[in-house]
Amino acid sequence: MRWLAASRSSKSGVTGKNDAKGQAPSSSTMPTTSNVASEHHTPASLPQRQQKTVFRALPDDILIFIWELSISEESESGFTPTYDPNVLLKISAVCSHWRCTALSISSLWAYIPSYFSKDLLQLFLTRSANAPLLVDLTCSRFFDDNQHPFSGGDNLLRRSDIFLAKLKTIFLHANRIRYLSLRLEAYAASTIDLELAGANCKIPGLEGLFFHVSSGLSPWAIPDTEFERIMDASLSLFMKFRNPLLRELYIDGLRVPPKIINVASLSTLSLRITEPIKSLRNYLMDVLKDGASLVSLSLDLWCAFISDRDSEPRPDPLHLHHLRQLSLKAPIDQCTLLAKILPIHQLDELHLESRHSFVLWDEVARLLPPSPPGNTVHIEVDEYLIRLEFLEFSERSRNSTRRRYLFTIEARHGQESNNNVLLGILNPLRFPNITNVDLCVSSAFDNSSMRSLLSHFGVLRSLSVRLDRRSHYTFPIEDAVDLDILRSPTSPLKSLQFIIFSNLTVKMPQATSFLFGLHAIAHERIKAGLPPLHLEFENCEGLTEDLLRKCGSKK
């Protein structure tokens, strides 16, 4: 949580009128914006002796780290992490020690979401003291000043008034705002822009801006003049909040002129284009031509109306010397066209989202580096995702990574098709330096494709077959590896020395022949003078030491 890291070492000591005594909620219900005053200030009923032995058992730094994990929520936009303030209020009301600790860490209170009531907004602004703020505000016909969005026909002007009132309160602390997220319905953006005409909206310390505009209408569904008016108002509002020294910029639903984006200062840029555009390539060339400092770039083109597919000769690639992370969300043919102007082979991460579009295997294969780093690869294929991660570990520690390359593609063609897509992408490629393969299987994994899959890698020494611990499925161990591959003299596994099975399920008698056959192959390899085959089983449900001994294991 990056907005916590900046000020964790300093304690603000902010206390209010009722903050000195230990307090705990009188019931297990979660505090809301309306009842926080009564529930959050109820005296604690726990004995003092129990508070010392239980609630003070952990050092404060570990306790705060646990709190951060417990209140954290995933951010759909990827702009910043978020957290649930109601959980923080409950944590701070458990006992006097927890309360004093929580109040002393001002950065815990620095996330300001849109649904805060006036009183709760003021409470968090006070408790956050001088900590840098992350502000997340929404104004649309589907969002009220309650915690949960709802749909209805309430007056949008009232929502704009609520938004402006909160914005005015927050802007009293403008010097503390570091990350600002604005999600606006286009008609609301027009009203807000008009109300803020002539106002000073500059945020001198702003490092990250997320600006989302959504009209809920196709540009073809409203008159051109009305659409242009809405977009002009949205652009005017964006310019009120932009900062020439931004490091991170996320623009969603608005095509901003290149000269206004000022990419020269950015390390992260994310664009989601939803307007008609004649030449996407020319637009991106203009936007990115000064992007030498860019480290991360994300382009979402699924809703873009591209009238020209850029048939003119290909220009030279852009000089984005520091670019390491690239995300392209578009049909595969559009992704491959854009890749020709981007420094693909210097990346550490490449993410493609092709959805249901046809995957051109050879074209995608050209996007991968010819010699990825390291001797280890993690492979994952499921219904929606293909993931290849190449790793080079530090010589000092197996858990420390020196270099990595990550390739992911979201292709929604189903499990069987994604298996074929992966094999098609790998078909022209060979990775002779890879000696360790970690294969994360899914519920529909077909081990008959393993020979073709593993043939693309070098002289294998180690193979791990595992099921993700978070998976809701069970995976029978007998479906992990085809024993004929281990027996074949031409198999890519003939030089294998280690097989690790993790999080798989052993059910008898179905797994009997597999386990007996696996141990028999290990003994046969020793008799044939081949390197010994070590078998390892990690967290395999139903597997016991007694069962392993019965199947021929000597350990």
The structural domains of the chain, with segments of one domain joined by +, span: 1-131
Mean pLDDT of 191-206: 83
Give dist(CA 115, CA 125) in Å, integer.
14
pLDDT at position 57 = 72
When comparing pLDDT for 416 and 286, which is higher? 286
Q: Over range 204-226, report the average pLDDT.
A: 75
What integer pLDDT is reported at residue 13 of this predicted model?
39
pLDDT band at 178, cuts 50/70/90? very high
How many other C-beta atoms lie within 10 A of the C-beta of residue 475?
Answer: 22
Residues 191-205: what's their mean pLDDT? 83
Check whether 376 has a pLDDT greater than 90. Answer: yes
What confidence category does residue 309 fall into, taking pLDDT thresholds of 50, 70 and 90? Answer: low
pLDDT band at 277; cut points 50, 70, 90: confident
Burial class from Cβ neighbours inside 10 Å (0-12, 13-18, 19+) for residue 169 reads middle
Question: Mind listing the pLDDT tens digit for each residue in 422-472?
Answer: 888 999 999 999 999 999 988 767 778 888 899 898 789 999 999 988 778
Average pLDDT rounded to a whole number, residues 263-284: 86
Among residues 120, 89, 115, which one has the least CA distance to residue 103? 89
Unique residue bearing structure tokens 């990115």: 288
pLDDT at 177: 92
Give yes or no for residue 201 having a pLDDT over 80: yes
Residue 378: predicted pLDDT: 96
Q: Parallel, antiparallel, or unpaired for β 349-355 and 401-411? A: parallel
Query: How far is the C-alpha of 57 from the C-alpha of 250, rounded, in Å?
Result: 42
**Helix (H, G, I), strand (E, B), or coil: what is residue 325?**
strand
Q: What is the pLDDT of residue 400?
A: 61
Q: Tell me how crowded residue 192 is: count the other CB atoms within 10 A of its CB.
A: 23
pLDDT digits (tens, 9 = 90+) for 466-503: 998 877 888 899 888 888 888 887 888 888 999 999 99
Tell me what pLDDT residue 2 has: 47
Q: Are 517 and 483 contacting, i.e. CB atoms less than 8 angstroms apart?
A: yes
Contacts of range 444-450, beta carbons closer than 8 Å, 24 or more positions apart: 444/383, 444/415, 444/416, 445/381, 445/415, 445/475, 445/479, 446/416, 446/419, 447/479, 447/480, 447/481, 447/482, 448/482, 449/419, 449/423, 450/481, 450/482, 450/485
- For residues 505 and 490, give the distance between their C-alpha atoms in angstroms, rounded to a whole number: 29
Instruction: State residue 540's pLDDT score.
Output: 92
When computed from its CA atoms, the radius of gyration of the chain, rounded to whole angstroms, is 28
Average pLDDT over the chain, rounded to an integer: 79
Residue 271 is predicted with a pLDDT of 92
- What does the alpha-carbon distance between residue 246 and residue 330 come to, in Å, rounded to a whole number? 27
**Percentage of residues in the chain having pLDDT higher than 90:** 22
> What is the structure's pLDDT at 42?
43
Q: List own/partner pairs for 98-104 with CB under 8 A and 24 or more apart.
A: 98/55, 98/63, 99/19, 99/22, 99/23, 101/60, 101/63, 101/64, 102/67, 103/12, 103/13, 103/14, 103/15, 103/19, 103/127, 104/11, 104/12, 104/13, 104/14
415, 444 contact by CB (below 8 A): yes
Q: Which residue has the higher pLDDT, 400 or 42?
A: 400
Dist CA 118 CA 127 (whole Å): 14
Average pLDDT rounded to a whole number, residues 504-531: 88
The residue-averaged pLDDT of 58-68 equals: 83
Which amino acid is it at 196?
A: L
Residue 40 contacts residue 31 (beta carbons within 8 Å) = yes
- Residues in the chain, total: 555
The pLDDT-based confidence of 50 (bands split at 50, 70, 90) is very low
User: What pLDDT band is residue 398 in, cutting at 50, 70 and 90?
Assistant: low
Closest CA to 15 of 129, 162, 94: 129
The DSSP H or E segment spanning 124 is helix 118-127
Taking the model in full, what pTM does it have?
Answer: 0.80
Asked whether residue 218 carries a pLDDT value surpassing 70, the answer given is no
Angstrom distance (rounded) from CA 553 to CA 518: 10
Per DSSP, 143 falls in state B
